[in-house]
Structure 1
Amino acid sequence: MWQKESKHKNSLYTNLCAANGFGKESDEMYKEVRSEINVHKKVKFHYTKCNKMALKKQKSAKVYFENGEWELAILVYNESLCFAENGTKYLGISYANRSACFYNLKMYDKCLVDIELATQNNYPKHLIPALEKRKMNCLEHIVNGWKLDESRLNLNYTRDEKFPDLANTVKIEKIADKDDPTVVAKQKIDVGEIVAVDKAFCKTLFAIYGWKCNICLKSNLNLMPCQRCTVTMICRDCKDNNLHKYECGIKTSLYSNSNNYLMQELRTFFTAMDLFANVDEMMTFVEQSVNTDPLEIPTALDDNRSKYRAFLQQTAFEPDTKDKKFIQTVCCVYKILLEIPKISLMFSTKKHRRFMMHLIGHHVQVNLHQSYVFKEDFVNENGDKDHRILYSQVGVLLRYFNHRCSPNVYAIDCDGDTYYCALRPIQPGQELFISYYCFHWDLPPEWPHKFSKHNCKCERCEWRKPTTDELIQIADDPDFDIVNDSNIESEIKSIDKAKFDILMESCIRLLKKYDRILWCKQLAVVITVYAALLTANIRGLV
């Protein structure tokens, strides 16, 4: 990567797409990807605005509404909005019906916005009185003191001035015997406190397009459909964002997981390109960034350019430019980008296009190793278990939270951002650790090492255990009985607020009381339950 054809000052970067004899195979991959829309007849239909389909979606949403499944009804009403033809009553009707869902969810501010959108989009006049009544009810609730509480999504401390995604109670620094920068506590951090909210540099939505904003990935918002395509909804805060303007009409597939990764690379490129006035400015910035020591601690992460610099410095693996899959991905993304007139015009010279190839390759490597991918299991048409990738995100703080099989911090994804919450009390000077791997913490310590490539030497991995008296004390604790008797995995989606609060309080008391106990089965049970409760709270499931 980033190799030039010669040592001459003005030499061009090597031609990745012509190298290693993969040109023909890359062309075949590109044709297969771009023809997939025509292979699946359903896909072609799904790209066309159609009031008939909008009406069908409205009827499906009504069933969810009548069953009290408000969020599912919102999802399908959003899909109806995507298909509704511009300027027709079907837009107004879907907005009005969605407002009723928000009303039942007690999201009165969003209900009012949807009522306004309905009246602006040809909502039938004879139905206006019912809409006005709903509006008056919303205003009455707001006057009487209703306020949406989203405090669960905030840092528990003041934001750091130069690193606003971090609380000012932590800092990034290098510590003895370690080369990598790491996050260290500046003062005592209590159980459950949010110490970082990593606003991802790049987010990509792959499926269920009525679920989230295409740009910020936030859900349960007043989403509005793209006027051209049927696979994009955008919130009011993102309506002036340029990303979808580049992407509209070039979705490679609605169904293929493999093609989703191509969309991620396209989104990454558009996100980066939007930061610069021209290609030369972009080249200068990128070349300076990739030639900087990747272990250097950034001076700030307070804007998109500084985050992009950190993003570029995250790749710790030199790609094999002879690797067939890597070259095919780079070339396929490169060709799709050049189909876009504005991109083709901007990157019109040989010098700029060679730079583009290497930049795509660099992005591929970072995304491969640093992306968080959210998946959903489902049963396909053949009755077989399958999964689909719903979205991906790449933040820049993850690299500073080192891995430990007995973590003191838990990372929770929500709406495209990552929340870092303390699992145990953390003292000043202590390093903050997360677990990079998804496994149950009550499994034997040899299990993590089946998946981990990290040479972890925590108490769990070295089989250091609490004393017998400590084990008896925590096992006999009444709070442990409450936590241990919970069946959190099956109950979490339907748990009532009272039981949630009891479990949360019991977990916090245990984690504070036994703050210095070494890893054991009892502690693992508490942390497993507590992590599930934190996730439910952050994602607004309770």
Structure 2
Amino acid sequence: MMSTTFFMVNIIFTESNSALDVSPWSLADIFLANNSLFLSKLITLMKTIYGNIFVDLLAPHPAVFLDDMCIETVATAKHNYLGMKFEATKSDLVSTGFRISGNNHFKVKYWRSAMEFYNQSLRFAVKGTENLSLAYANRSSCFLHMKKYNECLKDIEIARENNYPKRSMKKLDEREMLCLEQMKEAIESEVEIEPMLSFDSNENFPCLAITLEIQTNKEYGRHIVANRDIDVGQTVLIEEPYVVVFDTNNRTLCLTCMKAVKNFIPCPTCIDAMFCDENCMRNNDTHKIACGYVFYRVPSIQIYIQSILVALNTFNTVDHLMEFVENQLATPKFDLPKSFPDDLQTKYLAKYGMFLKLTANPKEADCDEILNIYLAFKCISMIPIIKASFDTKRKKRFLMHLILQHRLILGNGFGHSFPINAGNIQALCNVMSLFNHSCAPNILHLFVGNKQILFQSTEMRQDCLKKTFRFICKCNRCAPSFRPINRLTKQIQFDSNFCYIYANQYKISTASREQLAILKEKCCEFLRKYSQLTWSGEISSVTLNFINCIKSEYPEYNKTII
């Protein structure tokens, strides 16, 4: 089973020795600290082993105020769905209410939204009660109408295993027979595709194609270059994020692999997590540590805490973690791991080492952000295994510093925030963070199943880049001489490939695999021909359609609720 992945596809013919650059489709909303005294204190504290960050940096705020803030946040962190708030505990009453809402949506043929209500019903259903089996059975009917026959049969099986009432068993048997009949008549079944590199993988970094390599120089620092020519449409990186989270309140994804529209099963003890199957439930080590704890319902601190849990899971003891972090931060930041070994434990250590080597800039933190870090520290300290592990003053202060360090890396690295269904998926990839920025990129990145974020104007892009990453972009799209209309605009607009793409762009969501393949190839042909020109609206439009074609190949990750 493939876990959550980013992958990168070349969109411009890239010559050997060219640096690879990518557009940030989302930039974190972090404001620079203007208070020079605050910044001076922060930099000093980061070099201190180990100062009390919160006493020194939040001195104007009484400790009672800070603790009251944390208590209030924890007390009000309820499960939120479509503006409705519920206590974060199993409840058959709440489960029944969600199932009834699902039935109402089902009656008007809103299969996907009905399914989402049934998933919410499963979240709250008490283990061993009839509510579980009823929600599974009702969801199977949604799968049937969506022509997802294997999923329909699986839900019917799960409903029976959970003591579906005998009084309604005939209806379930009839649905199973109907599903089997329709499966025989189905012309085209949905095939799950996993992204693959277009080349052999890099020996040291298997997520990276052999056509790319990591280099370092004074101009770009650490960056990635092509070591040979790369054609349009070639996949050159497939990387699992070091850390990834999503707002568990407003949608249902597998907490382990983040697939959507699957036969989700709920965590038996909390309402925050659902999984594809028992394997995903068993393999989620961080949820075993934090099951039922409040940070899942506080999006502002979720990724900080998740990144700490991922790190803790890599080491046998806190002392080992502390020694590793101190050694990594004491060596030059350009000293990246030489490889990601095959041995899992060594590979995880290398990945965490690379994460710590990503740039952490204290200028991105302000007083409000330190308040968030204080909240994260308090919330993670509520988890029994964390409280027991960080049991001395030195270890507690180390944890404070580690959360701060992670926050500054996550804010400054190649992190992504994808708004969808009133929430966000946030992720950070180690190797992807080494790609240079360009608003007119020669490579695009995709988080399968999510919609891209495009910046609407040069001014907006420049403002975000300056605030967040502290540089002024000088790519050909941002240069003062840039004009959105090429001298070849008319030739481009009457190009046969462009006309075909323009005429078929709204059919992508309903296109067959053959039609998608044709449209995708038309996009590649157009980009081969014109993408070396100054970035234009036409190139941007074709790139967007190319992205949508690729996303349509991965329906298992389609998270849009219709």
Quick check: TM above 0.5? yes
Q: Does 1:390 align with 2:390?
A: no
In terms of mean alpha carbon deviation, does 341-350 or 165-174 score higher? Answer: 165-174
Quote the Cα distance in structure 2 between the aligned partners of 1:90 and 1:143.
33
Map of 2:215 onto structure 1: 173
CA displacement at 1:291 relative to structure 2: 2.4
CA displacement at 1:118 relative to structure 2: 1.4
Match of 1:356 among 399, 408, 412: 399
Is the 1:26–1:331 Cα contact (8 Å) retained in structure 2?
A: no
CA displacement at 1:334 relative to structure 2: 1.9
Quote the Cα distance in structure 2 between the aligned partners of 1:71 and 1:119.
23
Quote the Cα distance in structure 1 between the aligned partners of 2:509 and 2:316.
50
Secondary structure of 1:392's match?
Answer: strand
Q: For residue 13 of structure 1, what is the amino acid of its counterpart?
A: Y
Quote the Cα distance in structure 2 between the aligned partners of 1:465 and 1:327.
42
Match of 1:64 among 72, 86, 105: 105
Q: Does 1:190 align with 2:231?
A: yes
Map of 2:266 onto structure 1: 225
1:30-51 per-residue CA deviation (whole Å, 9 max, x = no partner) reads 4234324545888784323222
Quote the Cα distance in structure 2 between the aligned partners of 1:220 and 1:466.
40
In structure 2, the CA distance between the partners of 1:467 and 1:84, relative to structure 1 (3 Å rule), is closer
Q: Does 1:22 align with 2:40?
A: no
CA displacement at 1:212 relative to structure 2: 0.7
Secondary structure of 1:181's match?
Answer: strand
CA displacement at 1:484 relative to structure 2: 4.5
Match of 2:409 among 366, 387, 403: 366
1:368-410 per-residue CA deviation (whole Å, 9 max, x = no partner) reads 2333222247xxxxxxxxxx43332222133221111211111
CA displacement at 1:26 relative to structure 2: 5.6
Quote the Cα distance in structure 1 between the aligned partners of 2:68 and 2:484.
60
CA displacement at 1:207 relative to structure 2: 3.8
1:222-274 per-residue CA deviation (whole Å, 9 max, x = no partner) reads 221122222321232321223223333332585xxxx4122222222111111
Q: For residue 287 of structure 1, what is the amino acid of its counterpart?
A: E
Match of 2:477 among 438, 457, 460: 460
Match of 2:157 among 106, 112, 116: 116
Is the 2:295–2:302 Cα contact (8 Å) retained in structure 1?
A: yes
Quote the Cα distance in structure 2 between the aligned partners of 1:516 and 1:503.
21
CA displacement at 1:75 relative to structure 2: 1.5
Two-structure CA RMSD over aligned residues (Å): 3.7
In the alignment of these two chains, the number of paired residues is: 498
In structure 2, the CA distance between the partners of 1:105 and 1:191, relative to structure 1 (3 Å rule), is farther
Q: For residue 315 of structure 1, what is the amino acid of its counterpart?
A: T
In structure 2, the CA distance between the partners of 1:452 and 1:351, relative to structure 1 (3 Å rule), is closer
CA displacement at 1:152 relative to structure 2: 5.7
**Identity over aligned residues, as a percent?**
28
Q: For residue 192 of structure 2, what is the amino acid of its counterpart?
A: E
Is the 2:53–2:401 Cα contact (8 Å) retained in structure 1?
A: yes
In structure 2, the CA distance between the partners of 1:2 and 1:289, relative to structure 1 (3 Å rule), is farther
Is the 1:474–1:480 Cα contact (8 Å) retained in structure 2?
A: yes
Map of 2:371 onto structure 1: 328
Map of 2:497 onto structure 1: 479
Quote the Cα distance in structure 2 between the aligned partners of 1:142 and 1:266.
48
Structure 1, unmatched stretches of 5+, are 378-387, 420-436
Quote the Cα distance in structure 2 between the aligned partners of 1:464 and 1:120.
63
- Superposition map of 1:96-115 within 5 A: 96-115=137-156
Is the 2:264–2:276 Cα contact (8 Å) retained in structure 1?
A: yes
Quote the Cα distance in structure 1 between the aligned partners of 2:149 and 2:349.
37
Map of 1:426 onto structure 2: none
Quote the Cα distance in structure 2 between the aligned partners of 1:42 and 1:235.
21
Q: For residue 476 of structure 1, what is the amino acid of its counterpart?
A: F
Match of 2:69 among 10, 32, 35: 32
Is the 1:294–1:313 Cα contact (8 Å) retained in structure 2?
A: yes
Map of 2:281 onto structure 1: 239
In terms of mean alpha carbon deviation, does 192-201 or 87-96 score higher? Answer: 192-201
Q: For residue 532 of structure 2, what is the amino acid of its counterpart?
A: R
Secondary structure of 1:452's match?
Answer: helix
Quote the Cα distance in structure 2 between the aligned partners of 1:475 and 1:23.
60
In structure 2, the CA distance between the partners of 1:281 and 1:5, relative to structure 1 (3 Å rule), is same
Is the 2:99–2:118 Cα contact (8 Å) retained in structure 1?
A: yes
Secondary structure of 2:400's match?
Answer: helix
CA displacement at 1:361 relative to structure 2: 0.8
- Superposition map of 1:44-83 within 5 A: 45-83=86-124
Q: For residue 322 of structure 2, what is the amino acid of its counterpart?
A: M
Structure 2, unmatched stretches of 5+, are 1-41, 342-346
1:398-425 per-residue CA deviation (whole Å, 9 max, x = no partner) reads 3221111211111122369x99xxxxxx
Is the 1:372–1:394 Cα contact (8 Å) retained in structure 2?
A: yes
In terms of mean alpha carbon deviation, does 459-468 or 64-73 score higher? Answer: 459-468
1:270-307 per-residue CA deviation (whole Å, 9 max, x = no partner) reads 11111111101111121122223223343124533322
CA displacement at 1:191 relative to structure 2: 2.5
In structure 2, the CA distance between the partners of 1:537 and 1:31, relative to structure 1 (3 Å rule), is farther
In structure 2, the CA distance between the partners of 1:277 and 1:473, relative to structure 1 (3 Å rule), is same
In terms of mean alpha carbon deviation, does 263-272 or 77-86 score higher? Answer: 263-272
Q: For residue 507 of structure 1, what is the amino acid of its counterpart?
A: C
Q: For residue 477 of structure 1, what is the amino acid of its counterpart?
A: D
Map of 1:268 onto structure 2: 307
Quote the Cα distance in structure 2 between the aligned partners of 1:56 and 1:185.
55
In structure 2, the CA distance between the partners of 1:143 and 1:358, relative to structure 1 (3 Å rule), is farther
- Superposition map of 1:197-212 within 5 A: 197-208=238-249, 210-212=251-253
Is the 1:57–1:80 Cα contact (8 Å) retained in structure 2?
A: yes
Quote the Cα distance in structure 1 between the aligned partners of 2:510 and 2:184.
28
Quote the Cα distance in structure 2 between the aligned partners of 1:395 and 1:30.
33
Quote the Cα distance in structure 2 between the aligned partners of 1:41 and 1:114.
28
